[in-house]
Amino acid sequence: MPARLVKAEQLQRKARLINIIGFTLVLAAAVAMAIGLVWSRIADMWVLHTLEVQQTAQTLLISTRDAESALRSFLLSSDPDDLKPLDSSLEAARSELNKLRSLTADNSFQQARVKKLDDLLRAKAEQLSKGVVSAKEGQRDAALAAINSREDRELLSGIREKSKRSSPPSATSSRSDSREPHSSDTCLAG
């Protein structure tokens, strides 16, 4: 067999090998890109989840403040219509608390925070209810004392703190109950 034919045959084998190696590298790059896209999507989902938890906690705090504002407004104006938003605001806060409970169901640390927040919200609702009763009975000073007391401020501060302090998960961290809170002042996150 002539040397030229042997050389041509060797070049053809090398070309096939180079094509196979090239195809394999392109395939590996495509797989790596697909894996990167999946991880990016997971990270995006955690960011969206964290934002949803933060928004829910903020809405809970706003609803609680709205309930207190309704009582304060009633005490200033003596207009019974000013009390109308009180019950709906407390119901909205309760609804947001239940949503927080659901959003953080996979995290026992956050569930403990939600439980404390639940206790604080119940105490706040009871305090507002007593204020309404006192105001309706003509005991305006007692009603004012209830919502201007140190206990009132501590309850609202407690609700604010429990709804804002916790550790949002990073996109790359594992979702386990053993996570310790970070020292950040970000919102509850699941």
Of 190 and 17, the one with more pLDDT: 17
Supply the pLDDT for residue 146: 81
**Domain covering 45-164 in this structure, CATH number:** 1.20.1440
Is 131 exposed, middle or buried (CB count within 10 Å of its CB: 0-12, 13-18, 19+)? Answer: buried
Three-state DSSP state, 190: coil
For residue 151, pLDDT over 50 is answered with yes
What single letter denotes the amino acid at residue 46? W
For residue 187, pLDDT over 70 is answered with no
For residue 171, pLDDT over 80 is answered with no
Name, in order, each residue with C-beta under 8 angstroms of 7's C-beta and a sequence gap of 6 or more.
none
What single letter denotes the amino acid at residue 130? K
* pLDDT tens for each residue of 59-97: 999 999 999 999 999 999 989 999 999 999 999 999 999
| φ and ψ of 188, to 5 deg | -50, 135
State pTM to two decimals: 0.71
Q: What is the residue extent of each domain of the chain?
A: 45-164
What single letter denotes the amino acid at residue 139? Q
The pLDDT mean for the chain works out to 85
